[in-house]
Structure 1
Amino acid sequence: MSPLSPLSPILVATDFSTPARHAVQRAARVAHETTAALKLLHVLPGDVLGLLREWLGTDNATESQLLEQGRQQLLQLAQEVGSARHVRQIEISAKAGPIVREILAEAQCSAAGLLVLGARGAGFLRRLAVGTTSERLLRRTLTPLLVVRQTPHEPYRRALVAVDFSPWSAQALALARQVAPHAQLVLLTVFQVPFEDKLRFAGVDAETVEQYRLQSRARAEQELHALAERAGLRPGQWTSCVLEGDASLRIVEQEQEQDCDLVVLGKHGRSLTEDLLLGSVTKHVLAEGGADLLVSTAHAGQDQPTAGEQDA
């Protein structure tokens, strides 16, 4: 599969832990494949600064020393990944302050096309990956987010793209093709028989319910092939997977069964108020899945965010 148009700059936040280094390495691979620029960001957390000021006073030099240390580590990391992954353009930024605010501000200032984080970290990235800080970041970011869980030994081989035919599905598929331009795509959709329990309770016979099930599956298959056709996918570039059941369970199940190293979700579902990042589906995939997770934050036809929207 040939790459699509290059991503805007890729922003990766690091605390220099091993999982964060994996995120940097993956971001560098994507930057090389898409010819995107790469920016490395380190944030000295605001709560740490507060403690330092409380202990040492506001006129101490520790804060500037820590920031300089962060810049030196970023420079070394930039040299390492630039040489290993042949990334031509790498910038660095060391900041201090509230973590989520600084990451969002940097993503907006850089007009980043992708934000990359490690799934776990030794410092602030651990708090980003689990708990309320993660939910705040995911809720507020308008930048697509890649959570790296695996050591990136090679480009993405096989990507599971979960779709529900909402306006977000086409954009999630397009993003998957940008971030993983050489991967075989598995397009997964999960259906359920509408009101099956209520139908049975109302006395609808099993044969009729089974007919509804067959119709639901056929409709899902038809929509899946139509989505792939609109995206310009050729038969050899993708395979279909239509299953019945709970979406969160099926995504993790198929990630493992299909041997995928990347899972791609849209931020929203069919309902504008249904935010998968704050609901059971993404939480389950983050908790139980083993592949990297890519979350698309835009839907088909959506304009690019203007200045100030990201912090709204």
Structure 2
Amino acid sequence: MTSIQTILAATDFSEDADRAAHRAALLAAGHGARLRLLHVVQTDALEELRTRLGLAADVKDRLSEDAGRRLAAIAEKLQKASNVQAECVVRSGRVRDEILAEADHADLLVVGAHGTSRTREALLGTVADRMLYLGRRPILVVRNDPVKDYAKVLVPVDFSVHSIAALQFARRLAPDAQLHVFHAHSDRSEGTLFLADAPREAIEKHRSASRNAALENVTGLVGKALPGDPRVTWSVDDGDAKFLISEEAKRQGADVIVMGKHGHSLLSELFLGSSTHATVARAHCDVAVVPQDPRI
């Protein structure tokens, strides 16, 4: 199984981004991977602000130099904490676009759960939230302080090829961790039986058969994605994935959730990623979102 060789940690110098950088360093140390630290000087409105406020013409250069110094300070801390030498990269432009461009040369992008502007993200969504849908590489959204390697991983599945990619990446991300595979089972035909006034015994029998079929599907999926892996367990529960996944993560004591996504188009961003979005928002732990082809 291919290992993670290059990790990119994007930072805006916030507390959350610092937490993400430390997780990235911990992962880099465990995988023997190359670590790159990236900061993007946002130039979208810089020229307008420079004109309006009378800022110096070289303001972008000075911001880039300051960012370089701050990245170097972070790299020094990470080297002392994890014995990992990080490469510092400063880019200028539109933050999301520059991060995604750099991420195309990495096996994993690591970002903080929040940024420096909590008000803006409440109205428009975070840069991280946008990148979850548009990125072509696995993205790890870090929520908690990285005190140890990942030990328990929850992998929600829906029996698609995206689930296979998530399972295989979960094992790459945490080679020594216990994986728990979880399926939130929802049978729409059960509602039809209620409307048809079917006997309660018939509904219960149908529910049991449908749940058993789902459990068999999970068993088959695990056998296909991770054959012979003894550190994998699985379960099925009835209900809406948007609510059940984060609750199951708590119940399992998971320190990261790894889940697949169905695309990186605007359509998927608007309509397809409801359970992914809900999980990132609700989860008490870190969340990794994996495209169908992680390319590692």
TM-score of the superposed pair, with normalisation by structure 1: 0.85
In the alignment, the residues of structure 1 paired with residue 213 and residue 50 of structure 2 have an alpha-carbon distance, to the nearest angstrom, of 62
Contact 1:11-1:112 at 8 Å conserved across structures: yes
Contact 1:155-1:182 at 8 Å conserved across structures: no
Indicate the percent of aligned positions where both proteins have the same amino acid.
37
Say how many residue pairs are matched: 293
| Cα drift, residue 203 of structure 1 | 2.5
Structure 2 counterparts to residues 44-83 of structure 1, below 5 A: 44-47=41-44, 49-55=46-52, 60-83=57-80
SS at match of 1:178: helix
Which of residues 30, 33, 37 in structure 2 aligns to 1:33? 30
| Cα drift, residue 181 of structure 1 | 1.7
Task: Find the counterpart in structure 2 of residue 293 from structure 1.
Answer: 287
Question: Deviation per CA, 1:240-290, whole angstroms, max 9, x where unpaired?
Answer: 121111111110111111111101111129xxx766985331222222211
Contact 1:268-1:276 at 8 Å conserved across structures: no
Task: Find the counterpart in structure 1 of residue 10 from structure 2.
Answer: 13
Which of residues 174, 180, 190 in structure 2 aligns to 1:186? 180
Contact 1:158-1:262 at 8 Å conserved across structures: yes
RMSD over equivalenced CA pairs, Å: 2.7
| Cα drift, residue 139 of structure 1 | 2.5
| Cα drift, residue 29 of structure 1 | 1.2
Q: Which amino acid aligns with 1:30?
A: L
In the alignment, the residues of structure 2 paired with residue 282 and residue 161 of structure 1 have an alpha-carbon distance, to the nearest angstrom, of 12
User: Against the structure 1 CA distance between its residues 276 and 249, is the aligned structure 2 distance closer, same or farther, given a 3 Å change threshold?
Assistant: farther
2:130 pairs with 1:136: yes
2:136 pairs with 1:148: no
Question: Deviation per CA, 1:136-183, whole angstroms, max 9, x where unpaired?
Answer: 322221111100000000011111100111011111011111112222
Q: Which amino acid aligns with 1:228?
A: V
User: Against the structure 1 CA distance between its residues 33 and 92, is the aligned structure 2 distance closer, same or farther, given a 3 Å change threshold?
Assistant: same
Task: Find the counterpart in structure 1 of residue 98 from structure 2.
Answer: 102
SS at match of 1:254: helix
Structure 1: any 5+ residue segments left out of the alignment? 306-312
Q: Which amino acid aligns with 1:86?
A: N
Task: Find the counterpart in structure 2 of residue 308 from structure 1.
Answer: none
Contact 1:191-1:217 at 8 Å conserved across structures: yes
SS at match of 2:57: coil
Contact 1:120-1:129 at 8 Å conserved across structures: no
SS at match of 1:153: coil
Question: Deviation per CA, 1:1-31, whole angstroms, max 9, x where unpaired?
Answer: xxx4321411110011111111001111111
In the alignment, the residues of structure 1 paired with residue 121 and residue 75 of structure 2 have an alpha-carbon distance, to the nearest angstrom, of 24
In the alignment, the residues of structure 2 paired with residue 127 and residue 288 of structure 1 have an alpha-carbon distance, to the nearest angstrom, of 16
Task: Find the counterpart in structure 2 of residue 200 from structure 1.
Answer: 194
Q: Which amino acid aligns with 2:182?
A: L
Q: Which amino acid aligns with 1:195?
A: S
TM-score of the superposed pair, with normalisation by structure 2: 0.89
In the alignment, the residues of structure 2 paired with residue 187 and residue 35 of structure 1 have an alpha-carbon distance, to the nearest angstrom, of 27
Q: Which amino acid aligns with 2:180?
A: V
SS at match of 2:235: strand
User: Against the structure 1 CA distance between its residues 165 and 293, is the aligned structure 2 distance closer, same or farther, given a 3 Å change threshold?
Assistant: same
Task: Find the counterpart in structure 2 of residue 252 from structure 1.
Answer: 246
User: Against the structure 1 CA distance between its residues 15 and 259, is the aligned structure 2 distance closer, same or farther, given a 3 Å change threshold?
Assistant: same
The answer to which of 275-284 and 201-210 deviates more is: 275-284
In the alignment, the residues of structure 2 paired with residue 286 and residue 129 of structure 1 have an alpha-carbon distance, to the nearest angstrom, of 17
In the alignment, the residues of structure 1 paired with residue 171 and residue 222 of structure 2 have an alpha-carbon distance, to the nearest angstrom, of 12
SS at match of 2:236: strand
Task: Find the counterpart in structure 2 of residue 309 from structure 1.
Answer: none
In the alignment, the residues of structure 2 paired with residue 107 and residue 235 of structure 1 have an alpha-carbon distance, to the nearest angstrom, of 30
Which of residues 152, 161, 165 in structure 2 aligns to 1:158? 152
Task: Find the counterpart in structure 1 of residue 219 from structure 2.
Answer: 225
